């Protein structure tokens, strides 16, 4: 017989299970729980996208597409980035359609890393970066975004974390889990550092459209940065399309060609129906996108005020749909706070430590939840904190 526990690759054996999953296995067993836990829109995908997609199925769009994805979608993405940000990409050579930003992250690391190459990435961060770097035989090199700076990444933090083997810098702004973005001046400092140290930049800007203060500044729009940056974008968050599994990667044609090579063998192409849905979203659902963003902004203001009013310090995040309140005044660890809150009030939040050790002392609350639910959750959390 096969000894399976000894047969799994050591890299995979050493991966830790996602801190979010662990916690939500507990949440799943509870009834009537108010969850501020999940990182996905409560909105359903815009109706026009659903209608077009159903029609596309009836019209027989059930076959493979080319490896890089439908050219019409890539052209639509090029137009979108040009119109929104003045960014210009060649749809035929510089854009690859991926299975969510998730696959874009995986392909990027696999395309650029040799064993032992280092990738700098901000922490606290989305759960997949560290494991994906390891699976590509790279070395995760975390850069701490600190609470004193409201978790906004600084060039100096990156400089402090640099190692001789650092090859790439991974960015994510607005950030999951903190909602922090990076201001123009600091982006310019980071760009200067990337140039100085000749770093490849991979920028996960999946929350770019969900920016509430100033217009989002994509990293490749900074002087000299387009040629060294891989831009990852998607539809899951801004267009409420998590389940469709669709995203895109834009960058230098050599890198896109390398990523397409891996994609062609491992995935063949992104789902055809999802590609059609994405194209429809860009053509006909920009007003839905804007309406959802306006609603998130209202929810953000509500939840930030709620936490500050109950004495849990919470900075105003510039984007995404998360707040990251400071729970250190309660004397509890993040995990204990989340577990005890669930036990006492049946409200689920995510312990900050799910996003790296530097998340200790904080919890992540998603406001991709109806305002009524947010209000009810805030009342319960306030009662919990008071008790």
- Say how far apart CA 79 and CA 194 lie, in whole Å: 27
- Say how far apart CA 279 and CA 301 lie, in whole Å: 32
- Does position 53 interact with ligand PLP (CB under 6 A)? The reply is no
Which residue from 279, 18, 268, 289 is spatially nearest to 130, judged by alpha carbons? 18
Query: Nearest approach, Cβ of 335 to ligand PLP (angstroms)?
Result: 21
Query: Does residue 208 contact residue 218 with C-beta atoms inside 8 Å?
Result: yes
Counting Cα atoms < 13 Å in the Cβ hemisphere of 283 gives 14
- Say how far apart CA 181 and CA 23 lie, in whole Å: 26
Among 29-37, 95-103, 133-141, 341-349, the segment contacting ligand PLP (CB under 6 A): 95-103
Work out which of 35, 45, 65, 102 binds ligand PLP, going by CB under 6 A.
102
Query: Nearest approach, Cβ of 176 to ligand PLP (angstroms)?
Result: 4
Among 67-75, 81-89, 98-106, 188-196, the segment contacting ligand PLP (CB under 6 A): 98-106
- Does position 204 interact with ligand PLP (CB under 6 A)? The reply is yes
How many chain residues bind ligand PLP (CB under 6 A)?
13
Among 59-67, 87-95, 99-107, 218-226, the segment contacting ligand PLP (CB under 6 A): 99-107
- Say how far apart CA 35 and CA 210 lie, in whole Å: 21
Site mask for ligand PLP (CB under 6 A), range 23-52, x = bound: ----------------x-------------
Residue nearest to ligand PLP (CB): 100
Work out which of 35, 211, 242, 275 binds ligand PLP, going by CB under 6 A.
242
Among 25-33, 97-105, 114-122, 209-217, the segment contacting ligand PLP (CB under 6 A): 97-105
Which residue from 162, 166, 234, 172 is spatially nearest to 200, judged by alpha carbons? 166
Q: Which CB atom, from 112 or from 125, has the smaller least distance to ligand PLP?
A: 125
Query: Does residue 276 contact residue 55 with C-beta atoms inside 8 Å?
Result: no
Q: Which CB atom, from 152 or from 242, has the smaller least distance to ligand PLP?
A: 242
Query: Nearest approach, Cβ of 206 to ligand PLP (angstroms)?
Result: 5
Query: Nearest approach, Cβ of 383 to ligand PLP (angstroms)?
Result: 30
- Say how far apart CA 260 and CA 210 lie, in whole Å: 28
Work out which of 179, 208, 234, 317 binds ligand PLP, going by CB under 6 A.
234
Report 162-201 residues binding ligand PLP (CB under 6 A): 172, 176
- Say how far apart CA 383 and CA 387 lie, in whole Å: 6
Strands of 350-351's sheet in order across: 322-323, 363-366, 350-351
> What DSSP designation does 326 have?
B
- Does position 126 interact with ligand PLP (CB under 6 A)? The reply is yes
Evaluated on CA atoms 76, 78, 83, 85, the torsion sign reads positive
Query: Nearest approach, Cβ of 267 to ligand PLP (angstroms)?
Result: 13
Work out which of 113, 206, 259, 342 binds ligand PLP, going by CB under 6 A.
206
Phi, psi of 300 (to 5 degrees): -60, -50
Q: Which CB atom, from 142 or from 332, has the smaller least distance to ligand PLP?
A: 142
Looking at 204-285, list the stretches that DSSP marks H as alpha helix, in order from N- to C-terminal side.
Answer: 253-266, 272-284
Q: Which residues bind ligand PLP (CB under 6 A)?
A: 39, 100-102, 126, 172, 176, 204, 206, 234, 236, 242, 247
């Amino acid at each position: 017989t096969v000894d399976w526990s000894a047969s799994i690759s050591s890299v995979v054996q050493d991966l830790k299970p996602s801190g979010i999953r662990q916690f939500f296995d507990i949440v799943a067993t509870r009834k009537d729980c108010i969850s501020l836990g999940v990182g996905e829109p409560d909105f359903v995908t815009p109706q026009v996208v659903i209608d077009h997609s159903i029609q596309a199925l009836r019209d027989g769009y059930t076959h493979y597409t080319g490896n890089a994805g439908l050219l019409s979608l890539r052209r639509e993405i090029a137009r979108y980035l040009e119109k929104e940000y003045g960014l210009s990409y060649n749809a035929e050579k510089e854009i690859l359609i991926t299975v969510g930003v998730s696959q874009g992250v995986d392909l990027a690391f696999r395309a650029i890393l040799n064993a032992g190459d280092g990738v700098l990435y901000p922490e606290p961060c989305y759960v997949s970066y560290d494991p994906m770097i390891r699976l590509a035989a790279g070395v995760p090199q975390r850069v701490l975004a600190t609470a004193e700076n409201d978790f906004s990444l600084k060039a100096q933090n990156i400089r402090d974390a640099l190692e001789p083997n650092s090859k790439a810098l991974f960015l994510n702004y607005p950030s999951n889990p903190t909602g922090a973005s990076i201001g123009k001046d600091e982006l310019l400092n980071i760009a200067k550092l990337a140039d100085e140290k000749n770093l490849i930049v991979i920028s996960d800007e999946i929350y770019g459209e969900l920016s509430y203060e100033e217009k989002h500044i994509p990293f490749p729009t900074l002087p000299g940065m387009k040629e060294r940056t891989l831009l990852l974008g998607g539809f899951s968050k801004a267009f409420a399309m998590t389940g469709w599994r669709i995203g895109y990667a834009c960058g230098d044609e050599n890198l896109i060609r390398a990523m397409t090579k891996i994609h062609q063998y491992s995935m063949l192409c992104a789902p055809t129906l999802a590609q059609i849905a994405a194209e429809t979203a860009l053509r006909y659902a920009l007003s839905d996108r804007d309406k959802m963003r306006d609603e998130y902004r209202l929810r953000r203001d509500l939840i930030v005020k709620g936490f500050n009013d109950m004495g849990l310090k919470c900075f105003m995040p510039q984007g995404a749909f998360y707040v990251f309140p400071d729970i250190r005044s309660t004397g509890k660890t993040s995990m204990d706070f989340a577990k005890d809150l669930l036990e006492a009030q049946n409200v689920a939040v995510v312990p900050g430590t799910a996003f790296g050790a530097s998340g200790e002392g904080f919890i992540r609350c998603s406001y991709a939840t109806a305002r009524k639910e947010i209000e009810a959750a805030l009342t319960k959390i306030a009662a919990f904190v008071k008790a």
